[in-house]
């Protein structure tokens, strides 16, 4: 299959892959993501996405508008280039023969996507995500029922929200996982042999302060004066005793 780099975004490279059996665009992470799901979106504007070197300006602008929305998230979005008339017929003529034909084409796309991601050292998660854009509902229902153990049906916004939640819950740095939260006793995942051992000298114990038992500065100041008076009285008494013995 021929692979062409079309756009290079901050965190993903957008490639166009094609051969006699399938054509599609795929976002492959190349910076901060080391694993990803295969995410497929069926779009009704694929006429605007036909790869044509004579009209690259419009194509690049269109792809940039689509893929820049997911660039900061761990989403390997795949857009198959499928004939619009065929896709539209899925809504008007929900024929299982059409579903099977598209299922076969998507199988080819999924296999090539898996190879493209793996070649770039991306671990491919087992679940395939079909993007819910409120289109082709008959086919989606059929496809989800056929692959219910391996397939999920989500909107792009749901995937973005899940990515944001993962980022808030866990921050990774230098192989050490920190769980971010406000629990008094956070549940830290166990450190295995592949993670760095944290030096105990770098850990600060948590100090709890009881506001009711915080000493008042004024009282401590007065107690200091009382101690000085007592020492003065004792010193005078001792001096008088010494003078008496010397006389």
If you average pLDDT over residues 97-126, what whole number do you get? 94
Q: DSSP code of 126? A: E
Check residues 173 and 52 and name the one with the higher pLDDT.
52
Computed over every residue of the chain, the mean pLDDT equals 76
- The least confident of 86-90, 140-144, 155-159, 237-241 is 237-241
Res 146: pLDDT: 93
Whether residue 128 has pLDDT greater than 90: yes
If you average pLDDT over residues 199-218, what whole number do you get? 35
The two tokens of residue 188 are 């830290």
Digit-coded pLDDT (tens) for 159-204: 999 888 755 444 333 333 323 332 333 333 332 333 323 232 222 3
Task: Kindly list the domain boundaries of the chain, sorted by start residue.
Answer: 2-174, 218-246
Q: Distance between CA atoms of 21 and 204, rounded to whole angstroms?
A: 60
If you average pLDDT over residues 146-164, what whole number do you get? 90
Whether residue 38 has pLDDT greater than 80: yes
φ, ψ for residue 74, nearest 5 deg: -80, 70
The 3-state secondary structure of 57-80 reads HHHHHHHHHHHHHHCCCCCEEEEE
Residue found under tokens 């100041």: 221
Res 214: pLDDT: 36
Asked whether the beta carbons of 108 and 22 are under 8 A apart, the reply is: yes
Res 149: pLDDT: 84
Asked whether the beta carbons of 40 and 128 are under 8 A apart, the reply is: yes
Q: Which of 19, 230, 229, 26 is nearest to 122 (CA)?
A: 26
What is the reported pTM?
A: 0.66
- The region, left, alpha or beta by phi > 0 then psi within -120 to 50, assigned to residue 94 is beta
The two tokens of residue 184 are 């008094």
- The least confident of 30-39, 174-183, 226-235 is 174-183
Res 233: pLDDT: 61
- The least confident of 101-105, 127-131, 136-140, 182-186 is 182-186
Q: Distance between CA atoms of 127 and 150, rounded to whole angstroms?
A: 5
φ, ψ for residue 36, nearest 5 deg: -165, 160
Whether residue 67 has pLDDT greater than 80: yes
φ, ψ for residue 188, nearest 5 deg: -85, 135
Longest dimension (CA), the chain: 128
């Amino acid at each position: 299959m021929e692979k062409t780099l079309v756009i290079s975004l901050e965190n993903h490279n957008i490639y166009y892959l094609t051969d006699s059996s399938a054509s599609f665009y795929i976002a492959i992470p190349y910076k901060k993501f080391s694993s990803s799901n295969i995410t497929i979106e069926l779009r009704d504007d694929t006429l605007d996405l036909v790869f044509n070197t004579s009209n690259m300006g419009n194509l690049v602008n269109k792809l940039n508008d689509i893929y820049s929305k997911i660039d900061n998230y761990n989403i390997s979005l795949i857009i198959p280039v499928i004939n619009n008339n065929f896709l539209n017929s899925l809504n008007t003529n929900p024929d299982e023969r059409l579903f099977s034909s598209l299922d076969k084409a998507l199988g080819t796309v999924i296999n090539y996507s898996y190879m493209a991601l793996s070649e770039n050292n991306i671990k491919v998660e087992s679940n395939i995500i079909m993007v819910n854009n409120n289109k082709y509902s008959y086919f989606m229902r059929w496809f989800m029922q056929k692959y219910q153990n391996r397939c999920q049906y989500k909107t792009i916004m749901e995937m973005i929200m899940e990515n944001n939640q993962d980022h808030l819950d866990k921050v990774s740095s230098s192989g050490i996982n920190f769980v971010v939260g406000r629990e008094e006793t956070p549940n830290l995942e166990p450190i295995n042999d592949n993670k760095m051992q944290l030096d105990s000298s770098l850990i600060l114990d948590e100090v709890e302060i009881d506001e009711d038992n915080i000493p008042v500065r004024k009282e401590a100041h007065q107690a200091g004066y009382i101690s000085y008076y007592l020492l003065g009285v004792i010193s005078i008494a001792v001096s008088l005793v010494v003078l008496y013995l010397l006389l």
